Amino acid sequence: MSKNLSYMLNFLYQIKNHPDILSYRKVVLSDDYGASLGDFRPIHLGIGPDNRMSANRVVMDLCLFMLIDALIDRDNPDLVGEDFITKYKKLEAETTHSFIQKECFRLIRLIRNAIVHDNEAVTFEGECKKIKEDEIGIATYQDTRKMLVNLKSKKKDEKLDMYLLGKEYLNFVIWFLVFEQNPQGYSLLILKSAFNKLISNINSISDRMGDSIKECPSLSSSVLLKGFNRYVFFNAIITEDNENIFIKIKDYYSPCCDYYWESGSDVYLLPLESLVIDKEG
């Protein structure tokens, strides 16, 4: 990691850790497939000190832009010094990872420009309210909070209508891009799934790059994680032959499960979403 990236990360650690979107809960299976549960543990990307300052949104958004901009410059030295539009257009998007990096740069660049050039261009609306409660007191909430960007420009007015949940996913994906700079397998699945969650929370976008934004193409596989509060099952019965891996699954404990598997010196998390369920066997 370059010195500039390291300096920015150290600064960001002082003001706020990344969003706790991804968490895991350990589930230890007994011989009869009974389950012993642990607590959900947020996954922190890297090691840093506890929060020491409470940064406001503006500082965080500017820092996140600087972070991904520095990451792009490091990986694409021929683009150093180019303006943001040229940089975006020249970025390749041939892999899942590069496609996501390019589109996140586009989004945070729009937010950054609104902050820098017009302090009234970013507004918020909506609310998070409880709409019902079941018989045991578990509440259901409706969250309509949105970030609205409306930046006037001589060349083209730029606009973004995005739910705040989408903004949280954007923050998370940018952090993940920094810490997982060559994501493969399970890490790539997390990145792709989080990005598609981000896109699903964008109502509309219009900027100098276009009037729409696409979901991540299926460059690797069509599998997506259904959620990010994951149950990880240990001691599951797992066998393999020359072509397949067979897992005795815990009866649909949650659709967001991973099975821990060791093969030689390698360790894998096998997500339930990627498995073909054989109800006969």
For 255, the domain range is 3-274
User: What HEC string does 49-74 produce?
Assistant: CCCCCCCCHHHHHHHHHHHHHHHHHH
| Start-end of H helices in the chain | 3-15, 57-75, 84-90, 96-117, 164-179, 185-200
**What tens digit of pLDDT does each residue of 2-26 get?**
666 666 666 665 555 555 688 888 8
pLDDT, tens digit (0-9, with 9 covering 90-100), for 58-112: 888 998 999 899 899 988 999 999 999 999 999 999 899 999 999 999 999 999 9
Contact 2, 70 (CB under 8 A): yes
Is 166 inside a domain boundary?
yes
151 by DSSP, 3-state: which? strand
Would residue 203 count as lying in a domain? yes
Does residue 147 fall inside a structural domain?
yes
The pTM score is: 0.83
Taking Cα atoms as reference points, which of 124, 104, 14 lies closest to residue 59? 14
Beta bridge partners of 40: 25
- The distance from CA 224 to its chain's CA centroid, rounded to whole angstroms, is 12
Q: Is residue 279 part of a domain?
A: no
Q: Answer whether residue 48 is part of any domain.
A: yes
Q: Would you say residue 281 lies in a domain?
A: no
Lowest mean pLDDT among 159-163, 165-169, 215-219: 215-219
Residue 112 is assigned to a structural domain of this protein: yes
How many domains, the chain?
1
Residue 76 belongs to a domain? yes
Distance CA 76, CA 92 (A): 10
**So what's the pLDDT on residue 179?**
81
Angle at 162 between CA 73 and CA 51, to 5 degrees: 60
